[in-house]
Chain A
């Protein structure tokens, strides 16, 4: 049952975040609307991860405001996140999903069916009883996705989800992401993999050294980037 309130648009208003005298993001003003996946790209240290963590409420801004659907609700329940290195709970694959469902308030009776659904979506049905910590990297990331979906999110944040995976596992994860996006979930993903950005993005946000330099439709960005840094990044000339 989707409640009437929405977490979108997600609006950053002059947001800065500092950690131990290091500026992670500086004066970011950005709006993320519902629709196709928004992919954050940029070199290392650009602030992509920090922006995602701010949006998820894991980090508080040092200045500026963030609103979700017009509300300042930092710990919204309709948001979920997948990290670059997922942490598996010390229980079975099905147990991990069950845990996420329980955290989302799903009653025990309804859980079993949902677990089966999510396992199927992630392609993990044959591993339901396996201890989650004994899965391969790719399988663990798919489990992390299933866990995130268990919360029936409106927005799914992902922080470099395939950076630690091999190409085959990466493809498997991307296929699932495509399916999720098509089912109506808004994806906001940070990646340093340009190819991945090309494959998945509907909209690109290009960041450099803590600030947002460009925000435009994916095709527009890749064919005619608005800034010289953007162009350099696409060429592969911009690493820092």
Chain B
């Protein structure tokens, strides 16, 4: 990015470096949220519906891990993916893939905990009907997840927000490599450390606008769905 340019100038001028950073931020955080959802939503539903020994312990841990410090997650994933670490042969360190994996780990507890609460509440309402209709365990999970889809959309947005806003994880496992693993947050950190505070602030503003746009889009999808399905 050009030294001394204002963030607005970069946006309006279509600066390719800026657009690449924006695109990477979105792809990484959205992918991480979706990946976390694949594990987190069913896990949350499971915790809501099944009583098994140790369940309370797992619920407490999942709730607590909503507040996992991003740098700690970043460090743990770094040690796993480092060439000297157990998964080093995968060669994932300092790539966007590593960033997606690390952010997914960060976001997964949020999705699981919020899903568990939503599904638990919904199950209390649906229990009689679904039992009377003889719906099996898998059917229950899928029916509840689908019927809770509007609340779960908000949950997914909470997860996405966490991913898009954090810097510690992606900085450590991505390395903030110019043109490859530099996201909005790591770019802001970099410009701050270079002392170019106006640019850093401008980038921060762009990031917030992005997050608002994503939320607005999700809101639109939700409204359309609500009108269709009540």
Q: Do chains A and B touch in the complex (CB under 8 A)?
A: yes
Q: How far is the CB of B120 from chain A (nearest CB, A)?
A: 16
Task: Tell yes or no: A112 within 8 A of B by CB.
Answer: no
Contacts A103-B139, A131-B230; A89 near B147 (Cβ below 8 A):
yes
Determine whether the beta carbon of B230 is less than 8 Å from that of A134.
yes
Interface membership of chain B positions 132-168, coded 1 if the CB is closer than 8 angstroms to chain A and 0 otherwise: 1111000100010011010000000000000000000
The one of A88, A103, A133 in contact with B133, judged by C-beta atoms closer than 8 angstroms, is A103
Determine whether the beta carbon of A87 is less than 8 Å from that of B129.
yes
Which chain B residues border A103 with CB–CB below 8 Å?
A: 133-135, 139
Interface membership of chain A positions 73-114, coded 1 if the CB is closer than 8 angstroms to chain B and 0 otherwise: 001010011010011111110010001100100000000000
Task: Tell yes or no: B126 within 8 A of A by CB.
Answer: yes
Determine whether the beta carbon of B134 is less than 8 Å from that of A87.
no
Which chain A residues border B135 with CB–CB below 8 Å?
A: 103
How many interface residues does A have (CB within 8 Å)?
26
Give the contact-size bracket for chain B.
10 to 19
Which chain A residues border B146 with CB–CB below 8 Å?
A: 90
Determine whether the beta carbon of B229 is less than 8 Å from that of A91.
yes
Measured between alpha carbons, how far is A132 from B228 in the docked complex, in Å?
10
Which chain B residues border A83 with CB–CB below 8 Å?
A: 128-129, 132
Task: Tell yes or no: A238 within 8 A of B by CB.
Answer: no
Contacts A89-B147, A103-B139; A151 near B128 (Cβ below 8 A):
no
Measured between alpha carbons, how far is A155 from B82 in the docked complex, in Å?
64
Task: Tell yes or no: B125 within 8 A of A by CB.
Answer: yes
The one of B128, B143, B230 in contact with A132, judged by C-beta atoms closer than 8 angstroms, is B230
Task: Tell yes or no: B84 within 8 A of A by CB.
Answer: no
- Most B CB contacts (10 A, CB to CB) among A58, A75, A87, A100 go to A87
Which chain B residues border A100 with CB–CB below 8 Å?
A: 133
Determine whether the beta carbon of A86 is less than 8 Å from that of B139.
no
Determine whether the beta carbon of A131 is less than 8 Å from that of B129.
no
The 10 closest A-B pairs by CB, nearest first: A131-B230, A133-B230, A81-B132, A90-B147, A87-B129, A134-B230, A103-B133, A131-B229, A91-B229, A90-B229
Please list 16 pairs of residues, one from A and one from B, whose beta carbons are closer than 8 Å in the complex, sorted by A's number: A56-B132, A58-B128, A75-B134, A80-B133, A83-B128, A86-B129, A87-B128, A89-B147, A90-B147, A92-B229, A103-B135, A130-B230, A131-B228, A131-B229, A133-B230, A134-B230
Which A residues contact B (CB, under 8 angstroms)? 56-58, 75, 77, 80-81, 83, 86-92, 95, 99-100, 103, 130-134, 147, 151
Which B residues contact A (CB, under 8 angstroms)? 125-126, 128-129, 131-135, 139, 143, 146-147, 149, 228-230
